[in-house]
Structure 1
Amino acid sequence: MSPASPTRSSRCTPATRSASISACWRGCASRAWTRWTRRCMRCARLSATMPCAAHSGSPRRTLWVATPATTRRMHAAATLRVAAAERRRTVGFLGVGGVPEPEEWLTRAKRQVVELLRGDGPMTTREIGRRLPELTVPLGVSDPSGRSLPAHPRVLSGLGFDGVLVRTRPTGTWINGQYTWAVMDDWLPGGVGGLPERGARRDLTEHYLQRFGPATSTDLQWWAGWSKTATTRALADAAAQEVETDDGPAWVAADDAGTSLEPDPWVALLPGLDPTVMGWKERSFYLPAKAAPAWDRNGNAGPTIWVDGQVVGAWGQARDGSIRTHFFVDVPAARRAQVAQRAVKLRAILGPVRYAVRFPGAINAELLR
């Protein structure tokens, strides 16, 4: 481990969140500085030149939008083990629901869905249920109201974990929560399978550290949904470099150990569950205690206001379309003015669109009252 030396802050700007998913910045410390400050925000960027895939299940059973190469890494590194566990759960639910020979039933149901989608193109969950009514048998579980749940949504999510299906475009407008399913091979030639698990974990670890490093072992384990043993092995396989930060030991990608960047001051209004916000489990270096109400009780981040690498506030869209802001910590007037300018631009982008945040922070109700 490098010896401690004077702190050199490095803060990254999200101004370039617009090209292909790649590292926004390559490092936070120069060769002359061996102690790091964990306030360098690495931003995943979506590309206008995709293809991309919306892949459910990895890491941490979460929906991610990624380039094909990253999707394949995620699938092999994290999703396949989840897929096996989810299949066992579904078979158990089917058995409780009274379905005879649930293993065989599930295998047959998955084959029927794939055949349907290959022949007739993307469909919503509801459409698939109508076309294959035999798959709507009740599971042995109920929703909060006590209504028995049909089996076909779990069949579809299981095929998503398997990497056989992919969520595609939403129905209606871009804020609609309903979407269509397609066969992965039709959406992404070659599909997402074929990579060895250990190599994929190594590559995904390097990819993660290039975007979110310095990060702790706990951060990576939480983000990827791995065991402690798997995380330790992936860090070793990736030749990650241990460094000393203001908050203690952390890891950086091998290529980042001797690079430096001093970005200009920046502000941003990030949406709920933004990849930047959800990149670390240990968040004290960018989330002051006073800003905790930007999250909900389950650890989901609502819309956040950032200034120079820290969460300083929360924002929300009111019914009249205005963007309301709340600051948890003191922010200089000039920076508040920049936040206000961002809010004006955001309102113009949204125009007549009104939406509700799926996982609002604790401050949300008060903010929009």
Structure 2
Amino acid sequence: MGVGDEVRYIGVGERRVRLALRQQLAGTARVGSPEEVAEALVALHGSDPATVYLAVGARLVDPSGTVVETERALYEDRSLVRMHGMRHTVFAFPTELSAVVHASTGLTVAARERAKLLKDMAKAGAPDATWLKEVEAAALAALGRRGQATAAELTEDEPRLREQFVYAAGKSYEGVHSVSSRLLKVLGVEGKVVRGRPLGSWISTQFRWAVAPPHPELDVAEAQAELLRRWLTVCGPATEADLKWWTGWKVTDVRRALTTIRAVRVSVDEGPAYVVDGDAGPVEGPVEPWAALLPGLDPTAMGWQQRDWYLAPSLRPALFDRSGNVGPTVWWNGRVVGGWGQRPDGEIVWRLLDTEGVGSEAEAAVAVEAERLRGWVGATRVTPRFRVPLEKELAGGTG
């Protein structure tokens, strides 16, 4: 796997330099467009719609046009696409990567989700797979005619989408599902439909649907190798545990992809790790001191499973929810040092939790970033979809 006689150790300091440059967080590493951000980071978390915009804005040289430019990329040029990806999570990807994501991570999940839908319908005495295929074909045809549509709008063209069935009858979590909500979710995982424009502003969680852009069907192993190569180029070194967690693959798939791309084994504090071929040497650094305010679920904060090298364990109770979702974070020179929130009047407020090596220079830099964020967010009130203790406290004005 490209492993030499000597395995190079990459320490925390160098890992933080790599993070600053490759995650486009240092001032000199910022870029000019949402496409450049997505291309570099591979994937932008989209479970919370606001995360895509906030993650882009934090990495632009001039963030004043963040909303307009990101909407252009997502809904006009379609150079970015929101779709299901790793770990059955919604991300925004460069459109040219959609085939790789679909083949490498979507196919297995898609098969499982369709089987689950059919099983749930059968238990409820709902129509069979043939009926569902007919409804699916009609829904896709209607969506093609409309261009973009909500589930409610599609039921006007295909009334069978309104059909409902009882889910988990007799269980404590029993509920009623509509065919439209479950079917559109399955079609999204299968790569047949993608999220279109939101019904409201850029922070809205309600989306229209659109037919997915056409893409070739790729070999699964080749697609996995390509996705892992792209991610490891940005996030290496990473351990096998990091790779398995981020991709959501089986460990055998991770190891096969590492072999295919001739990944090079190195050493980090957590143990054996990997970088892409040619990336085992020292990186240029150090970088100029930098600060950043990143949103909840930012791809950098959520980039690795083993995070102690950039996020002290003592900070996790304040910055994560019970499901493991990270909230808004404050960064200084490659590590998380606190969190931030937005008050009802729009003010960006923040608090430092880890003050080791953080002095007046850091506080001044964080204040600049807070004002920079406030400048482009304007009057929009952004509330994270997954709220964490410190963000709740700061946003409530009690911090």
- Under TM normalisation by the shorter chain, which class is it? 0.7 to 0.9
2:222 is aligned with 1:204: no
2:364 is aligned with 1:340: no
Q: CA 1:254–1:4 in 2, change beyond 3 Å: closer, same or farther?
A: closer
The residue correspondences of 1:217-228 to structure 2 (distance < 5 A) are: 217-228=240-251
2:39 is aligned with 1:22: yes
CA distance in 1, matches of 2:207, 2:178: 18
Verify the 8 A CA contact 2:10 2:266 in the aligned structure 1: no
**1:268 alignment partner, one of 272, 281, 292:** 292
Say which is worse superposed, 254-263 or 117-126, in terms of deviation: 254-263
CA distance in 2, matches of 1:175, 1:145: 29
Verify the 8 A CA contact 1:57 1:79 in the aligned structure 2: yes
CA distance in 2, matches of 1:165, 1:352: 33
Verify the 8 A CA contact 1:44 1:211 in the aligned structure 2: no
Aligned to 2:161: 135
The one-character-per-residue Cα deviations of 1:143-191 (angstroms, maximum 9, x if unpaired) are: 999651212111111111111111121122111111111111xxx3xx1
Verify the 8 A CA contact 2:81 2:95 in the aligned structure 1: no
2:197 is aligned with 1:169: yes
CA distance in 2, matches of 1:212, 1:167: 27
**2:257 alignment partner, one of 212, 231, 234:** 234
Task: Give the AA of the match of 1:243.
Answer: V
Task: Give the AA of the match of 2:395.
Answer: L
Verify the 8 A CA contact 1:272 1:303 in the aligned structure 2: yes
Verify the 8 A CA contact 1:242 1:249 in the aligned structure 2: yes
Aligned to 1:114: 140
Verify the 8 A CA contact 1:22 1:44 in the aligned structure 2: no
Aligned to 1:27: none
Aligned to 2:181: 153
The one-character-per-residue Cα deviations of 1:178-205 (angstroms, maximum 9, x if unpaired) are: 1111111xxx3xx134111000001111
Aligned to 2:312: 288
Aligned to 1:216: 239
2:383 is aligned with 1:360: no
Say which is worse superposed, 358-367 or 136-145, in terms of deviation: 136-145
Aligned to 2:340: 315
CA distance in 2, matches of 1:68, 1:255: 27
Say which is worse superposed, 303-312 or 138-147, in terms of deviation: 138-147
* Alpha-carbon shift at residue 5 of structure 1 (Å): 5.8
Verify the 8 A CA contact 1:135 1:151 in the aligned structure 2: yes
The one-character-per-residue Cα deviations of 1:113-153 (angstroms, maximum 9, x if unpaired) are: 11101112200122223432211222332799965121211
Structure 2 residues without counterparts, runs of 5 or longer = 42-57, 61-68
CA distance in 2, matches of 1:133, 1:236: 50
CA distance in 2, matches of 1:122, 1:301: 32
Say which is worse superposed, 46-55 or 313-322, in terms of deviation: 46-55
Q: CA 1:339–1:94 in 2, change beyond 3 Å: closer, same or farther?
A: same
CA distance in 2, matches of 1:86, 1:5: 42
TM-score normalised by length of structure 1:
0.87
* Alpha-carbon shift at residue 312 of structure 1 (Å): 0.8
Aligned CA-pair RMSD: 2.4
Q: CA 1:210–1:6 in 2, change beyond 3 Å: closer, same or farther?
A: closer
Task: Give the AA of the match of 1:286.
Answer: Y
Q: CA 1:3–1:197 in 2, change beyond 3 Å: closer, same or farther?
A: closer
TM-score normalised by length of structure 2:
0.80
Verify the 8 A CA contact 2:290 2:332 in the aligned structure 1: yes
Say which is worse superposed, 279-288 or 141-150, in terms of deviation: 141-150
* Alpha-carbon shift at residue 100 of structure 1 (Å): 2.8
CA distance in 2, matches of 1:358, 1:62: 14
2:106 is aligned with 1:79: yes
The one-character-per-residue Cα deviations of 1:201-249 (angstroms, maximum 9, x if unpaired) are: 0111100101111111111111111011111111111111110123321
Verify the 8 A CA contact 1:109 1:155 in the aligned structure 2: no
User: Residue 289 of structure 2 aligns to a residue in which SS?
Assistant: coil
Task: Give the AA of the match of 1:361.
Answer: V
CA distance in 2, matches of 1:174, 1:141: 32
Give the % identical residues.
33
Verify the 8 A CA contact 1:56 1:166 in the aligned structure 2: yes
User: Residue 110 of structure 2 aligns to a residue in which SS?
Assistant: helix
CA distance in 2, matches of 1:164, 1:225: 21
Verify the 8 A CA contact 2:341 2:391 in the aligned structure 1: yes
Task: Give the AA of the match of 1:355.
Answer: V
Verify the 8 A CA contact 1:53 1:71 in the aligned structure 2: no
Verify the 8 A CA contact 1:168 1:182 in the aligned structure 2: yes
Aligned to 1:126: 152
2:68 is aligned with 1:68: no
CA distance in 1, matches of 2:263, 2:59: 20
Task: Give the AA of the match of 2:365.
Answer: Q
Bigger share in helix? 2
Aligned to 2:83: 56
Say which is worse superposed, 272-281 or 55-64, in terms of deviation: 55-64
Verify the 8 A CA contact 2:139 2:157 in the aligned structure 1: no
User: Residue 64 of structure 1 aligns to a residue in which SS?
Assistant: strand
Verify the 8 A CA contact 1:136 1:151 in the aligned structure 2: yes
